[in-house]
Amino acid sequence: MGRWEPGARERLVVAAVDLFTEQGYDDTTVAQIAERAGVTKSTFFRHFPDKREVLAAGQETLSRLLADGIASAPSGATPLECVAAALRSVSEAFGEMNRDLGPRMKAAIAANAELREREALKSVGLSLAMTSALRERGIAEATAQVAAELGLLAFKRGYAEWSESTADEPLATYAFAALEELRAASAALG
């Protein structure tokens, strides 16, 4: 496969996840990832600074989709209705590749402390993006933070269920169900 062919970034992500799953993160090299993806090592480094960042691919896009979804919510929408709009925005952008990678990414991250740390940082970034977007709508800081955290948790739970399901349902179905479950759970807190 020539390096000029489109989709190198996506191929690198898939190759990395496959290799991390097959042989472990620590035993996988950048050269192996590049070879599996059909690109050169220098092409890898044009897309990612190191192999750890491969699993954070798309974080900026995800943050933007969440923030844009909140910004596009109707005027007068409650904080959780804004979060639902963010979940819809992300769900519309997620396709079968995202679904297929879910369980393998989860396993690779769970097996490595460095990847768990990077995943935690990614979560903080996504929460901050939603909190900022909610604040821009005039929502109080504490309310914006709680709504963003519920939204992030709903996204994670919905994505996990969606990626492990064989049902022909969109990610939004799972994310909205998770958000509703979390809304009910938070009301039960008293």
**Same structural domain for residues 96 and 26?**
no
Residues 6+ apart with CB under 8 A from 20: 28, 55, 104, 108, 111, 112, 115
| SS3 track for the chain | CCCCCCCHHHHHHHHHHHHHHHHCCCCCCHHHHHHHHCCCHHHHHHHCCCHHHHHHCCHHHHHHHHHHHHHCCCCCCCHHHHHHHHHHHHHHHCCHHHHHHHHHHHHHHHCCHHHHHHHHHHHHHHHHHHHHHHHHCCCCHHHHHHHHHHHHHHHHHHHHHHHHCCCCCCHHHHHHHHHHHHHHHHHCCC
16 and 95 inside one domain: no
Helix axes 113-136, 59-71, angle to 10 degrees: 20
CATH number at residue 38: 1.10.10.60
Residue 12 lies in a domain: yes
Share of the chain above pLDDT 70, in %: 97
Rounded Cα distance between 139 and 183, Å, is: 18
Whether residue 64 is contained in a domain is answered as yes
pLDDT at 124: 95
Residues 88 and 146 in one domain: yes
Q: Can you tell me the distance from the alpha carbon of 17 to that of 164, in angstroms, rounded to the nearest whole number?
A: 16
pLDDT for 169 beyond 60: yes
169 and 124 within one domain:
yes
pLDDT digits (tens, 9 = 90+) for 15-53: 999 999 899 999 999 999 999 999 999 999 999 999 988
List Cβ neighbours of 68 (8 Å cut-off, separation of 6 or more): 86, 89, 133
Range of the domain at 26: 8-50
pLDDT surpassing 50 at residue 2:
no
Considering the domain architecture, whether residues 18 and 77 belong to the same structural domain is answered as: no
Q: Over the chain, what is the mean pLDDT? A: 92
Looking at the 3D structure of the chain, how many domains does it have? 2
Task: Kindly tell me if the per-residue pLDDT of 3 is higher than 60.
Answer: no
Whether residue 1 has pLDDT greater than 50: no
Is residue 146 situated within a structural domain? yes
Kindly tell me if the per-residue pLDDT of 5 is higher than 90. no
Does residue 122 belong to any structural domain of this protein?
yes
Query: Is residue 1 assigned to a domain?
Result: no
Together in a domain, 92 and 182: yes
Residue 104 CA to residue 106 CA, distance in Å, equals 5
Looking at the structure, tell me whether residues 92 and 140 fall in a common domain.
yes
Residues of the chain above pLDDT 90, percent: 72
